Amino acid sequence: RDRQPIIAIDGPAGAGKSTVARQVAANLNLVYLDTGAMYRAVTWLVLQKGIAVDDECAIAELTSKCKIELTPTQDLQSSVGVWIDGIDVTQAIRTIEVTSLVSAIAAQSAVRQALVKQQQNWGKKGGLVAEGRDIGTHVFPDAEVKIFLTASVSERARRRQEDFHKQGQPEISLDQLERDIAERDWKDSTRKVSPLQKAADAVELQTDGLNISEVTAQIVNYYQQRLSQ
């Protein structure tokens, strides 16, 4: 074939996609692509410019013109360095303001078209672990390995709470986190364009009670098994 292999990892918020994808990429010497960071960066720019979330025309134009850059980072708290139009938004895209708006922006078809095109361009030569909601279904439907990562809502809320705690951010109750996660799951799975969905040929990995290295090892094993076939 004319490109290196691709690993696609999809799943709901807090399933462990970014942490695990980063480890798998490091392990197999592949490039890590965080597509959620791109939707977050556009959302940040929309907020920063004061554009209304339902002004799809203005958002479409903004998305087609903006320049997003992702850079590897040593910082363990952020998966990648994220830049939009030359501004470092690595931390800014993780705020509650961005998180609560991103699903509405990511549901707009013009936004998805522009970002997916960029992702496919970056992935032309393969050799990457891409993580998001629609990687196995739309972005790289011919990926060699497709993983659908899940965990219960309560487990994912617990992980998020631990994240906030470690980052020294204000406490959010488990109840609130569960509601936020369930709402975003619902928005992402029911939207018209490329909803969050397990690809028919994806392997589902339920990760309650599994730590990061256990999940990573399972994916690496599965990858090696698939490629030796």
Nearer to ligand CDP, 98 or 126 (CB): 98
Q: Find the binder of ligand CDP among 44, 63, 128, 134 (CB under 6 A).
A: 134
Nearest Cα to Cα of residue 39 among 141, 191, 170, 221: 191
Asked whether position 212 contacts ligand CDP by CB under 6 A, the answer is: yes
Collapsing DSSP to helix, strand or coil, 51 comes out as coil
Tell me the site size for ligand CDP, rule CB under 6 A: 28
| Cβ-based neighbour number of residue 124 at 10 Å | 8
Helix (H) or strand (E) holding 32: strand 31-34
Regarding beta strands 87-88 and 81-84, do their DSSP bridges make them parallel or antiparallel, or are they unpaired? antiparallel
Q: How far apart are the first and last CA of the chain?
A: 14
Asked whether position 123 contacts ligand CDP by CB under 6 A, the answer is: no
Q: Find the binder of ligand CDP among 23, 63, 103, 161 (CB under 6 A).
A: 103
Asked whether position 184 contacts ligand CDP by CB under 6 A, the answer is: yes
Q: Find the binder of ligand CDP among 7, 17, 42, 114 (CB under 6 A).
A: 17
Asked whether position 28 contacts ligand CDP by CB under 6 A, the answer is: no
Asked whether position 106 contacts ligand CDP by CB under 6 A, the answer is: yes
Collapsing DSSP to helix, strand or coil, 147 comes out as strand
Asked whether position 53 contacts ligand CDP by CB under 6 A, the answer is: no
Q: Find the binder of ligand CDP among 68, 84, 123, 132 (CB under 6 A).
A: 132
Asked whether position 219 contacts ligand CDP by CB under 6 A, the answer is: no
Residue 69 has φ and ψ, to the nearest 5°, of -125, 135
Residue 186: both structure tokens together: 């619902």
What one-character DSSP code corresponds to residue 92? G
Asked whether position 78 contacts ligand CDP by CB under 6 A, the answer is: no
Nearer to ligand CDP, 20 or 59 (CB): 20
CA distance linking residue 75 with residue 212, whole number of Å = 17
| Residues near ligand CDP, by CB under 6 A | 11, 13-20, 35-36, 39-40, 102-103, 106, 132-134, 159, 163, 184, 188, 207, 210-212, 215
